[in-house]
A and B are shown apart, each in its own frame.
Chain A
């Protein structure tokens, strides 16, 4: 962005600490009156150096570190990381463990969408929605807590399996929570679709076209809201997703309203997936039998090689590129987060909108700066 300003223009710095921001990033917006002429995103306020940290930790210690990339996506981050190691070492995950992973990752999708939607609603001035979604998210987190022992940073996956089995009576608890959650999601949809003020602020605002989104490398709900049915769970199935019945939720419009609608539909689809898994889940071991892999994996040396493994995180495509040199620590890990490209859509999308719409557009992207900076 040009730093020079013309007559009747000014530069407004939004952030890094700003109530509308989901994390610390700075948006430098050049304004002419109320209209954004140009803008630029600056990041780096919470750069944690996770890629360097991972090079200095053993493979098992890395599981805890990748949780901290973004706490809402903790389980899908673990899945991508653990999947890399399993591909390199050639570990086969038993079927029961795969089902448990799918159940937990779909739970993490539901709670991430609930929080993202609630935050976004509070940005556009719909603060009571935030209270509703946080209330329902708490029930989901309690269910996850009963399996993993933690609400947000789980450290639940292990190489070749999962740490714990599902607890007693889990299916009944899920049934009870989903009964309430289904009603709540229907209620959110009704609130969103009947509020004329909300609709006039979101319909046709911040339209991302499919061509631009593909060019920028966007994935996840912002891309699916433009009509592109791109979902790693379908295109490159991992775990048992190939055996499950679910559809990829898409919308045509590509505006703020469509992005929220995609998230609402995805939560319903995730609940459907979890119910299928709970019906189909076979009994069996949690770790491959006859191997040293288990709850307390010894220090492992992974065969030299390199791998790129990607999974569908709540916000889109999460990929890990891992290079191993045969030692007990990864030689290089590159984290490809879904929000990194999504945040780059802001400058082209904000061109020409009014200041009040910045919040709606940035919020509907459901960005996570912690994951962008790493």
Chain B
């Protein structure tokens, strides 16, 4: 299975839901997906295209475009192709379906993305902070407009 056939299969199965699909090199592909369909696409990737290995899941903040991109980097144990899949969410209220039912290890990645970016995951089994103290929830420190000092958490320390 090579990058070309993977992208062809993905775009023919989801003509509406997947867009901007592209091949960067023999082992790197990119695609964008509509936020509502992310679980269906992931399930198809895992079951039919043997993308069984979620390398990581995270987000990138774009205040200029008023968007948050949720990025799924999905690899495989069978073939070397990696798919970088993005779902674009509005910055004010980023909500997306959790992919934990498909990829078990998305659990911690989603908890971390939630506390660092404020992306809310629906149907996540246990959405609570992972690496930050609970008082910092709502600060969203990895967003670009995070000021750090003087924040209410920082004030408490002084």
Residues of chain A touching chain B, judged by Cβ–Cβ distance below 8 Å, are: 43-44, 47, 49, 51-52, 214-217, 228, 230, 235-236, 306, 308, 310, 317, 319, 321, 323, 331-332, 334, 336, 340-341, 344, 373-374
| B44-82 contacts to A (CB < 8 Å) | 52-56, 58, 60-61, 71, 73, 77, 80, 82
Q: Which residue of A lies closest to B82 (CB)?
A: A308
Q: B105–A344 contact, CB under 8 A?
A: yes
Residues of B within 8 A of A49 (CB): 141
Q: B132–A308 contact, CB under 8 A?
A: no
B21 interfacial contact with A, CB 8 Å = no
B130 interfacial contact with A, CB 8 Å = yes
Q: B58–A321 contact, CB under 8 A?
A: yes
Q: How large is the interface on B (under 10, 10 to 19, 20 to 34, 35 or more residues)?
A: 20 to 34
Residues of A within 8 A of B104 (CB): 215-217, 344
Q: A44–B131 contact, CB under 8 A?
A: yes
Encoded as 1 (CB less than 8 Å from any A CB) or 0, chain B from 86 to 126 comes to 00000000000000000111011000000000000000000
Q: Which residue of A lies closest to B62 (CB)?
A: A331
Inter-chain residue pair count (beta carbon < 8 A)? 67
Q: How far is the CA of A44 from the CA of B150 in the complex (A)?
A: 22
B28 interfacial contact with A, CB 8 Å = yes
Q: Which residue of B lies closest to A342 (CB)?
A: B105
Q: A44–B71 contact, CB under 8 A?
A: no
Q: How far is the CA of A228 from the CA of B27 in the complex (A)?
A: 20
Q: How far is the CA of A374 from the CA of B130 in the complex (A)?
A: 12
Q: Which residue of B lies closest to A317 (CB)?
A: B55
Q: Which residue of A lies closest to B86 (CB)?
A: A306
Q: B80–A341 contact, CB under 8 A?
A: no
Q: B105–A319 contact, CB under 8 A?
A: no
Q: How far is the CA of A43 from the CA of B107 in the complex (A)?
A: 14
Given contacts A235-B80, A341-B105, A373-B131, contact A217 B54 (CB under 8 A): yes
